[in-house]
């Protein structure tokens, strides 16, 4: 039964991707990558908010609460929640700058404002390098969900099928495909989370579901790490290449800002996710792998046909996020790193890059199993280093592109170096330490330039 | 399912980004989320079945949009 309902979900997602192709515009690179900036409020809302209920957050949040309790919930919900006010301020300004400069990618903004090929390539390379683990993360989540249904399918087959489907969506309709499919994905995931959470709460036994426990003693160093990570990731989530591209799909800056106001309300499903994790922990269910907590809660509490829908929702969630990442990486390579390609060349080049990226990610995930949180941390360490240069561009300040490049490279090197060495000065997240040095280099260059101008 | 691609009033202006709007729409949410979490994580007990710090973050899912809605209104007043 779960196989049938899963199949219906997958078929519906393919039908939506086909419909997205019917709705496509001129068929040029701008339409392929950013829908010619013509998407309406509802589609931009679902496209932008996709990461709130991505497979990473659904599986990762349940796993984190199961393993670490309230401290994890604080970090995870805190950074997502605060990314909306950041987007409320930044996203419309990004939209305006993008429209003014004709940008399609994050690196386009840097080329237009700073007029430097070197900086454009460094920004594109930084984005691509730190986006690489994200594809594998989505496949790992997909494999984890499917494993919990006990179907006789190997990880390699699953990852291959997922890669093929994602490539098909993207080739069919570009960014419009994940935009339309994300509506279905979010409706399904919200229903799944509410159903699973409610069933978990009822199964645990009302009203004494949860017993009050004394608050844990939290060292100041841990607090500092949580706060610095929330600050780092709340900003980072808004300036990832795919988030910037999604902003460019919107028809107006006003719509982008208005959407941000409603987004936190969309997080009201997190209490249900919390209940599922608590249910698994308090029942003492045998968890074979840390990423299995959510699906174990679902398979224990929901009927088979619902399990198929939940698995289908999780699967297309992984693929929608993956499609967004692919559509960010493709033009960063074919448009920004390989300069001078024709409009058609950019589209075809991007599809080749996307194909290779999907194959590598699928192969990586089929051979490995890892906890998503680790990859998630490394991802933000690098993404955040774009922030000082982007802020300079948004404010229209004049700073030497060499200083922006130096800041970015120094920030990356320091953040990743500290992370791998396991060092956290004063308990502060290494990414924020790197960002501090990066911002300092940019600030010194800006002050030097203004003093020279006088 | 039919979702309109072009259903927005794009001609209306973006509400102004003023210092007051930044304080209410950005600073206040940071204060509420981070300050509240740090305060409540040291508090014993349970609120609707959740630890107080987690329950506070759930409450912030309503408080943060309120802050942004007020900031939007402040920006519109300034733009008018």
pLDDT tens-digit profile of A195-254?
Answer: 888 888 887 765 444 555 555 556 666 788 889 999 999 999 999 999 999 999 999 999
Contact B6 A38 (CB under 8 A): yes
Let me know if residue A433 belongs to a domain.
no
CATH number of residue A340's parent domain = 1.20.1730.10
Q: For A229, name the nearest residue in chain B, comparing CA atoms only.
A: B34
Q: What is the pLDDT of residue A192?
A: 82
A342 conformational bin, left if phi > 0, alpha if psi -120 to 50, beta if neither: beta
Helical (H) or strand (E) element with A198: helix A176-204
Q: Is residue A239 part of a domain?
A: yes
Residue A15 within any structural domain of the chain: yes
> Which residue from A85, A251, A252 is facing B64, i.e. has the nearest CB?
A85
Specify the pLDDT at position A377: 65
Residue A334 lies in a domain: yes
d(CA A259, CA A44): 8
Instruction: Enumerate residue ranges in chain A where pLDDT < 50.
Output: 207-209, 369, 371-372
Q: According to the model, what pLDDT value does residue A454 have?
A: 62
CA A198 to CA A92: how far, in whole Å? 37
Closest CA to A119 of A130, A129, A108, A128: A108
Chain B: give the shortest CA distance to residue A157, in Å.
31
Domain limits for position A48: 2-386
Check residue B9 and give its pLDDT: 46
pLDDT in tens, B3-57: 444 444 455 677 778 899 999 999 999 999 999 999 998 888 888 888 899 999 9
Chain A residues near residue B50 by CB distance under 8 angstroms: 210, 271, 274
Nearest to A210 among B49, B68, B71 (CB): B49
Check residue A213 and give its pLDDT: 56
Residue A444 lies in a domain: no
pLDDT for residue B76 is more than 60: yes
- Residue A209 belongs to some domain of the structure: yes
Position B1 pLDDT exceeds 60: no
Q: Which residues touch A425 (CB under 8 Å, ≥6 apart)?
A: A418, A433
Nearest to B7 among A40, A262, A268 (CB): A40
Residue A291 lies in a domain: yes
Whether B68 and chain A come into contact, CB under 8 Å, resolves to yes
Quick one: pLDDT at residue A205?
A: 62
Residue of chain B whose alpha carbon sits nearest to that of A219: B42
Q: Looking at this predicted complex, what is its ipTM?
A: 0.87
Does residue A436 lie in a domain region? no
Q: Which of A71, A89, A215 sits opposite B25 (nearest CB)?
A: A89
Query: Which of A 351-390 lie inside 8 A of B, CB atoms?
Result: none
Backbone φ and ψ for A350, nearest 5 degrees, come out as -65, -40
Rounded CA gap, A408 and A394, in Å?
A: 17
Name the A residues in 159-218 with CB < 8 Å from any B CB: 180, 183-184, 209-216, 218
Domain count along chain A: 1
Distance CA A385, CA A416 (A): 11
Predicted pLDDT of residue B80: 58
**Are B64 and A41 within 8 A, CB to CB?**
no
Whether B72 and A261 lie within 8 Å, measured CB to CB: yes
List of chain B residues whose C-beta atoms are within 8 Å of the C-beta of residue A43: 3, 5
Q: Quick one: pLDDT at residue A207?
A: 42
How far A301 CA sits from the closest chain B CA (Å)? 19
Q: How far apart are the first and last CA of chain B?
A: 38
| Cross-chain Cβ contact A89/B17 below 8 Å | yes
Structure tokens at A298: 């679902």
């Amino acid at each position: 039964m779960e196989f049938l309902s899963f199949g219906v979900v997958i078929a519906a997602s393919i039908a939506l991707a086909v419909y997205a192709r019917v709705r496509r515009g001129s068929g040029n690179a701008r339409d392929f990558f950013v829908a010619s900036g013509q998407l309406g409020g509802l589609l931009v809302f679902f496209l932008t908010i996709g990461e709130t209920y991505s497979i990473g957050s659904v599986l990762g949040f349940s796993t984190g609460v199961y393993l670490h309790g309230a401290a994890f919930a604080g970090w995870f919900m805190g950074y997502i929640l605060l990314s909306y006010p950041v987007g409320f301020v930044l996203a419309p300004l990004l939209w305006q700058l993008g429209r003014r400069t004709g940008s399609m990618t994050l690196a386009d903004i840097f080329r237009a404002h700073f007029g430097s090929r070197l900086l454009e390539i460094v920004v594109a390379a930084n984005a691509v390098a730190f986006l690489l683990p994200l594809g594998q993360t989505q496949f790992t989540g997909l494999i984890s969900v499917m494993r919990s249904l006990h179907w006789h399918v190997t990880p390699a087959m699953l990852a291959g099928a997922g890669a093929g489907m994602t490539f098909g969506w993207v080739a069919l309709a570009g960014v419009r495909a994940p935009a339309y499919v994300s509506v279905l994905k979010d409706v399904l995931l919200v229903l799944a989370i509410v159903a699973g959470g409610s069933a978990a709460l009822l199964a645990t036994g009302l009203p004494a579901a949860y017993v009050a426990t004394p608050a844990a003693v939290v060292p100041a160093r841990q607090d500092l790490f949580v706060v610095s990570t929330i600050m780092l990731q709340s900003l980072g989530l808004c300036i990832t290449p795919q988030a910037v591209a999604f902003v460019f799909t919107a028809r107006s800056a006003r719509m982008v800002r208005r959407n941000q106001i409603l987004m936190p309300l969309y997080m009201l499903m997190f209490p249900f996710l919390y209940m599922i994790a608590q249910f698994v922990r308090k029942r003492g269910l045998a968890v074979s792998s840390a990423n299995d907590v959510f699906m174990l809660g679902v398979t224990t509490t929901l009927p088979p046909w619902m399990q198929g829908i939940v698995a289908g929702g999780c699967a297309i969630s992984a693929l929608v996020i993956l499609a967004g990442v692919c559509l960010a990486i493709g033009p960063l390579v074919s448009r920004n790193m390989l300069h001078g390609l024709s409009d058609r060349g950019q589209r075809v080049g991007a599809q080749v890059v996307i194909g290779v990226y999907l194959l590598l990610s699928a192969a990586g995930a089929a051979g490995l199993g890892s906890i998503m949180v680790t990859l998630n941390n490394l991802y933000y360490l690098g993404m955040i280093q774009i922030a000082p240069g982007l802020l300079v561009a948004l404010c229209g300040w004049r700073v030497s592109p060499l200083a922006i490049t130096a800041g970015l490279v120094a920030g990356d090197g320091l953040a990743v170096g500290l992370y791998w060495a396991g060092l956290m000065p004063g308990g502060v997240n290494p990414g924020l330490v790197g960002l501090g040095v990066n911002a300092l280099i940019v600030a010194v260059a800006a002050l030097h330039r203004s003093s020279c101008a006088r | 399912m039919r979702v309109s691609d072009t259903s927005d009033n794009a001609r209306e202006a973006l509400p102004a980004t003023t210092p007051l709007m930044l304080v209410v729409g950005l600073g206040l949410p940071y204060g509420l989320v981070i300050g509240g979490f740090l305060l409540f994580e040291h508090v014993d007990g349970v609120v609707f079945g959740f630890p107080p710090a987690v329950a506070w973050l759930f409450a912030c899912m309503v408080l943060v949009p309120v802050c942004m809605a007020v900031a939007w209104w402040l920006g519109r007043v300034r733009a008018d």
